[in-house]
Amino acid sequence: MKLLLDYRLYLVTDRNLMTTPILTDAVQEALEGGVTLLQLREKQLAAADFLTEANTIKKLAHDYQVPLIINDNLEVAQASNADGLHIGQNDLPVHQARAALGPDKILGVSIQTVAEAQEAEKEGATYLGVGAMFNTNTKNDTIHVSHETLQAICQAVQIPIVVIGGIKRENISQFQQDPIQGFAVVSAILQQPDIQKASRELRQEIDRTLQ
């Protein structure tokens, strides 16, 4: 199934932050609220459990016509036939991931500099995740990316860019002038008491900002 790739509101999961104990419930609420893209990010699960979860979450996401991207784990991405893989600078090389996935899968790469952006684009990335744009408690090894650097990255590459790191409703409009395609969030959705409402409000703010 070929799904439309819409980066506007990109939910990245983190089970440690959730206000609901069941990941599928949280994801379903977020999808109801208007999440357009989903990344399953499991740092602690054993591979077999990650795969089981990926299969379940893929079905759920596809019920909403939303593609599923797997964080870091190429084997899980392949075995679940997920729509794509997202890797960072310390994961497998981009060209290797692209070769393993084939030309049709989504390949996202986290970058912080113009050089990393150009390299990832050249090696076959579909889109770039740029951040952390703001302070975040979700990931403790983040590097801050200035708005100036983001602008330079946008100038340097052709592929879609999503921003990440401390994104919340209050700071989305700061990106109104930037040619970015979307906003990746963890806590602004998963750590909220009402996940569906939080997602809907973020989506409204993003749709206003990116129009």
141 annotated ligand-binding residue: no
Whichever of 91 and 178 has its CB closer to Mg ion, that residue is 91
Q: What are the helix (H) ranges across 130-194?
A: 147-156, 187-190
Cα 31 to Cα 164: distance, rounded to the nearest angstrom: 19
Q: Which residues are catalytic?
A: 41, 110, 139
110 annotated ligand-binding residue: yes
Shortest Å, Cβ 53 to Mg ion: 17
Cα 21 to Cα 1: distance, rounded to the nearest angstrom: 30
User: What element of type H or E holds 128?
Assistant: strand 127-130
Shortest Å, Cβ 87 to Mg ion: 6
59 annotated ligand-binding residue: no
Per-residue burial over 159-170, b = 16 or more CB atoms within 10 Å of its CB, e = otherwise: bbbbbbbbbbbe
Q: With CB cut-offs between 5 and 8 Å by kind, which of ligand TZP, Mg ion, none does residue 72 bind?
A: Mg ion
Shortest Å, Cβ 142 to ligand TZP: 5
CB count, 10 Å around CB of 29? 22
Q: With CB cut-offs between 5 and 8 Å by kind, which of Mg ion, ligand TZP, none does residue 91 bind?
A: Mg ion
The residue from 6, 32, 91, 178 that contacts Mg ion (CB under 5 A) is 91
- Would you list which residues are annotated within the binding site? 39-43, 71-72, 91, 110, 136-139, 166, 186-187
